[in-house]
Amino acid sequence: MTAVACDDVSVAYGEVLALRNVSVAFERGRIHAVVGQNGAGKTTFARVCAGIVRPTTGRLAIDGREIRVGDVGAARLSGVELVHQSFALPPSFTVAEAMEFGSTRRTGPVYSRRALERRWRDHLASLDVAARPGDRIRDLPVETQQGVEIARALCSDARVLILDEPTAVLAPPAIERLFARIRRLRAAGVTVLVILHKIHEVLAVAETITVLRAGELVATLLPAAAMNAGDLAHAIVGSANVGATIDVPAPHAARDDKLPALELLGAATRATPDGPPLADVDLTVGHGEIVGIAGVEGNGQRTLVNAIAGLCALSAGRLNCGGRDLTRTSLLERRGHGLRIIPFERNVEGLSLSSALWQNWSARLLVAGRQLRLVDPQRLRGLCRSALERWSVRFASVDQPAGALSGGNAQKTIFAREIDDDAMLIVAAQPTRGLDIAATAFVWAALRAARERGCGVLVISSDLDELFDISDRVVVMLSGRIVGEFCAPYDLGAIGAAMTGASSAALTLATP
Amino acid sequence: MIEALVGILGAATPLIYVTLAGVLAQRSGIPHLGLEGLMIAGACAAVVASKQSSSVAFGLAVAIGVCVLGSLLLWFVIEKLRANPIIAGLGLTGLGLGGSDLAIQSIYGSEGAVRAPFALPHLGAWAGEFAGLSVLVLALPFVVGLLWLALRRTRFGLRLAASGEHPFAARSVGADPAQMRLIALALGGVLCALGGAELALGSLDVFSIGMTAGRGFMAFAAVTFGAANPLGASAAATFFALAEYLGIKAQLVLGSAAPPELLLSLPYLATIGGVWLSTRLRGGINRGSTISELREY
């Protein structure tokens, strides 16, 4: 018996085909994984199944009955619910309100606050969600928000639950708990479609695996028990991308100073809207070293980057770069000493999407010189063109707006701007988020090349696999503090425990 | 004392009706800067239509029709033509102010003020000291209470708030944010018409050009002050009306001892003070404003 069946579904966004002739029928009562690289069309596929995206062509049937495509109401009525990757809950709502606003349960028209909280208390308890009905969504930790979102999805009688990249925001122990929850739901008769991109997670939880690549199905309902990691990786990436060599230009700044590229000594800040304040942060990044910052998002990583950038003042402690005290200097002066930043939000902080590529690229040159100085756009265009070509950015013209670039090319443009000859310390915040495997490999190669040339590199990432791959050392942040430091070979359990504050033993330094 | 209460109620009622329209729009995700235009259009339409037809009920109906049409226009421009809601709202205000002026000039010549044959029905003798207040004053507590229930204690209210705060969340439970905004703006149109009619035909029976005198913007300030909660915003509007009443009273008492310009500007000063205070109380300007989130999906 099929729970969800797609028949010849295609989705076009303008010129781009996000899904192409996808036909698949998911069996009822099992855990199905849908996997693929970024941009493979996984999220679009999930949204088509949930009625949020209307496919250009194709049909959708739930429990053997065809429903109107692109109609959330119809999909929900037939029991399909979607948990979004970045949760769709209004932050000012209480947990009970978040349950109620999507509920289709028949009740009286007006509720009292007490009745509402009573109505949903049992529901939350039965799903083992650690939130009180009166708590506000914005005050909840990410894992609990996800629990609430799942509870919201199950508040009507959901028979098919679709989870879009549910592990992206979770620490390892929370991922285990999520998988346990998924298995309990399956035992209760719910069909689960889970969108994932990490191979070991897929193999840990799924019963069948369906692979999307560039909007097309390349494998359908493979039995997970018969798969190994290598085969699955091959299916996801395809043969074209394997073994591609990437040539990355590196900065020449081989200053082998004895003093570290970055030294934070007892650094502290005030709390910011982005997260908790830094408290007593001691952090050293040597020349020719990549240091990774691990931690669940929102534990002070943004504040750390802002403090290093000079965008957030230190209330205590010092910041040295190459032995020079830069504690009280502006970002501009710090840039003059070789600080370069790859910011968290490449489309917000990294690039001005409406400005031309050459303007984005030459911003570094423009802020560095005197303010009253003639600018030669023609020369900058030429410089920009050759720099972008050197970094193999795919672009049509340096006059095109930066917003027209794909994620990978946008990130390469930022790298082309930031990693120049004078770079000494490179802070890369979530440098590969949202990038596909090829672009990710490029970014890693660029960071490694910078290390070979003697730059200090600080990488902030929520992807532990990434950190383990490229870091010489991994430092764990929790609530604005450094709670552990690890060297290869990395102990996933210990790092996970440190990230969640589960073990105070993480405070002791682990040595290789 | 009672006289002061009557005066404040008279000044507050039109402001509160318009404030409630602003609350509806704000919760649905639209900062409503067209309130001034809708209010004056309502006042103008109510007076002109009741003068031409000799029926207050007809005048009220026409005012509602005009304001709902204006609101639909605003919705169309924002949702379908993807205009910036602030610019669109200010445009609607310009349209209301200029349109009412034009209508009066072309129908009655250059008089600047039009007298209606009668005002809205008053409470009458049973209300004692309050006899001179219109029925819309009596209806106000019910309207505020109903709106509070609808916004804060029903699934509809939650979906409306979700449309404003997180449109994608609303969409993914099957509530179309554009449709919720249509409902909010249309209902707001009705409330603006009532506010405008009360202003022109409540304690007076006259429409004069520009008579709203910025009350629509004061209402918008009250929405901010009251955090888009019907009760809080109504209280804020009452506070502004109190300032207005005190200004008029002080003018009578002090006569020429105090500069009248200063006293007349009291309600506006109170508005500025109120907005400043509410911003301070909430710790700075709200970062995730509805304007930016309106385009999120």
A189 and A270 co-located in one domain: no
Nearest to B122 by CA among B3, B18, B203: B203
Q: Which residues have C-beta within 8 Å of that of residue B220, sequence separation ≥ 6?
A: B22, B31, B32, B33, B35
- Here the tokens at position A308 are 């290093």
Evaluate whether residue A256 is within a structural domain. no
CB atoms closer than 10 angstroms to residue A365: 15
Are A274 and A205 contained in the same domain? no
| Domain match, A209 and A278 both | no
pLDDT tens-digit series, residues A353-403: 888 999 999 988 888 777 777 888 999 999 999 999 888 888 888 998 888
Question: Residue B223, Cα to own-chain centre: how many angstroms?
Answer: 10
Q: Which residues of chain B have a CB within 8 Å of the CB of A138?
A: none
Cβ within 8 Å, pair A88-B168:
yes
Max Cα distance, chain B (Å): 62
Helix%, strand%, coil% for chain A, nearest 5: 35, 25, 40
Residues of chain A with Cβ-Cβ distance to B154 below 8 Å are: 109-111
The SS3 of residue B191 is: helix
Residues pairing with A193 in the sheet: A32, A162
A89 reaches B (C-beta below 8 A): yes
Give the Cα separation of A121 and A94 in Å (integer). 12
Q: Are A84 and A139 in the same domain?
A: yes
Asked whether the beta carbons of A62 and A4 are under 8 A apart, the reply is: yes
Same-domain pairing of A228 and A341:
no
B149 chain-A contacts, CB cut-off 8 A: 110
Q: Tell me the two tokens of residue A68.
A: 């109107």
Q: How far is B158 from chain A (nearest CA, A)?
A: 5
Beta-bridge partners for B154: none
Which of A90, A111, A112 lies at the smallest CB-CB distance from B162?
A90
**What is the rounded distance in angstroms from the CA atom of residue B28 to the CA atom of residue B15?**
20
List of E strands, A170-315:
191-196, 208-213, 216-223, 262-268, 281-285, 289-294
Q: What is the pLDDT of residues B45-61, one digit of tens each?
A: 999 999 999 899 999 99
Taking all residues of chain A, what is their mean pLDDT, rounded to a whole number?
Answer: 85
In CATH, what number is assigned to the domain containing residue A329? 3.40.50.300
Q: Which residue of B has its CA nearest to A87?
A: B169
Q: What are phi and psi of A264, to 5 degrees?
A: -105, 125
Same domain (yes/no): A136, A33: yes
Q: Rounded distance, CA A192 to CA A185, Å? A: 8
ipTM of predicted assembly, 2 dp: 0.83
Residue A223 one-letter amino acid: P
**Quick one: closest CA in B to A98, which residue?**
B158
- CA A477 to chain B, closest CA, distance in angstroms equals 26
Nearest to A429 by CA among A477, A388, A493: A477
Instruction: Find the mean pLDDT for residues B223-233.
Output: 91
Across the beta sheet with A262-268, the strand order is: A281-285, A262-268, A316-321, A324-325
Tell me the nearest-neighbour CA distance from B115 into chain A, angstroms: 43
Structural contact between residues A304 and A460, judged by C-beta atoms closer than 8 angstroms: yes
Q: Is A92 on the interface with B (CB under 8 A)?
A: yes
Task: Determine which of A80, A110, A148 to mutate to test the interface with B (most B C-beta atoms within 10 Å).
Answer: A110
Interatomic CA distance for residues A442 and A465, integer angstroms: 16
Which CATH number describes the domain made up of B2-296?
1.10.3470
Tell me, yes or no, whether A55 and A187 share the same domain: yes
Per-residue pLDDT of chain A (512 residues; tens, 9 = 90+): 789 999 999 998 776 788 999 999 999 999 999 988 766 888 889 999 999 999 999 999 998 899 999 899 899 989 999 998 777 889 889 999 999 988 888 788 888 888 899 889 888 888 888 889 999 988 888 778 888 988 888 887 789 999 988 887 777 788 888 999 899 999 999 999 999 877 888 899 999 999 998 888 988 888 888 888 888 877 877 755 444 455 666 665 545 567 889 999 999 998 777 778 899 999 999 998 999 999 887 788 989 999 999 888 899 999 998 888 999 898 988 998 889 999 988 888 889 888 899 999 998 888 877 777 788 899 999 999 999 988 888 888 899 888 878 777 888 899 999 988 888 999 999 998 777 777 888 889 999 998 988 899 999 998 888 898 899 999 999 888 999 999 888 888 888 888 877 654 444 443 33
Reduced to 3 states (helix: H, G, I; strand: E, B; else coil), residue A94 is strand
B286 interface with A at CB cutoff 8 Å: no
Best residue of B152, B163, B171, B173 to probe chain A, by most A CBs closer than 10 Å: B173
CA A108 to chain centroid, in Å, comes to 41
Q: Does the N-terminal peptide bond of residue A489 adopt cis geometry, omega within 30 degrees of 0?
A: yes
The amino acid present at A97, given as its one-letter code, is E
* DSSP 8-state code for residue A207: S
Q: Is B159 on the interface with A (CB under 8 A)?
A: yes
- Work out whether the CA dihedral B208, B213, B217, B223 comes out positive or negative: negative
Interface check A112 vs B, CB under 8 A = yes
- Interior CA angle at B83 toward B80 and B84, to 5°? 140
Of the candidates B158, B171, B175, which has its C-beta nearest A52's C-beta? B171
Q: Nearest by CB to A101, which of B149, B155, B287?
A: B155
Residue A283 lies in a domain: yes
Q: How many helices (H) and strands (E) does chain B have?
A: 13, 2
Cross-chain residue pair A110–B169, CB shorter than 8 Å: no
Contact yes or no for A90 and B171 at CB 8 A: no
Q: Structural domain of residue A56, as residue ranges?
A: 2-237
Which one of A222, A237, A252 terminates a domain?
A: A237
A468 to chain B, any CB pair closer than 8 A? The answer is no
Chain position carrying tokens 């929102």: A298
Which among B155, B171, B172 has the least Cβ separation from residue A100? Answer: B155
Q: Are B63 and B47 in contact (CB under 8 A)?
A: no
**A55 and A189 share one domain:** yes
Strands (E), A15-159: 16-27, 31-35, 57-62, 65-67, 80-83
Q: Which residue of chain A is at minimal alpha-carbon distance from B148?
A: A110
Number of domains present in the structure of chain A: 2
Which of B153, B172, B287 comes nearest A52 by C-beta? B172
Query: In A, which residues are within 8 Å of B287 by CB distance?
Result: 273
Let me know whether A434 and A319 are in one domain.
yes
Residues of B whose CB is below 8 A from A50: 172
**Are A384 and A486 in the same domain?**
yes
3-state secondary structure of A134: coil
Query: Per the structure block, which two tokens stand in for B267?
Result: 């309600």
Residue B212's pLDDT band, with cuts at 50, 70 and 90, is very high
Same domain, A36 and A185: yes
Q: Count of CB atoms within 10 A of residue A135's CB?
A: 17
Helix (H, G, I), strand (E, B) or coil at A340: strand
Give yes or no for B32 touching A (CB within 8 A): no
Give alpha helix (H) positions in B29-166: 35-53, 56-75, 85-108, 135-152, 155-165
Q: Could you tell me if residue A257 is inside a domain?
A: no
A108 CB near a chain B CB, below 8 Å? no
Q: Hey, which residues 36-75 in chain A have their CB within 8 Å of chain B?
A: 50, 52, 72-73
B5 at interface of A, judged by CB pairs closer than 8 A: no
Chain A to chain B, count of Cβ pairs less than 8 Å apart?
57
Q: Which chain B residues touch A274 with a CB distance below 8 Å? A: none
Of A204, A222, A237, the residue at which a domain comes to its end is A237
B166 → closest Cβ in A50, A90, A111: A90
Q: Do A88 and B172 touch (CB under 8 A)?
A: yes
Give per-residue pLDDT as tens, A201-254: 889 999 999 999 888 898 888 888 888 888 887 787 775 544 445 566 666 554
Residue A226 and residue A343 in one domain: no
Q: Which two tokens stand for residue B35?
A: 């309130």
Distance CA B113, CA A215 (A): 67
- In the block, tokens 């029903």 appear at B154
Contact list in B for residue A100 (CB cut-off 8 A) is 155, 158
pTM of the model: 0.75
**Which H or E run includes B239?**
helix B230-254
In this complex, do A84 and B158 lie within 8 Å of one another by their Cβ atoms? no
Closest chain B CA to residue A114? B153
User: DSSP class of residue A135?
Assistant: S
Q: Provide the token pair at B177.
A: 């944010």
Residue where a domain stops, chosen among A237, A252, A283: A237
Q: How many angstroms from the chain centroid is the CA of residue A339?
A: 24
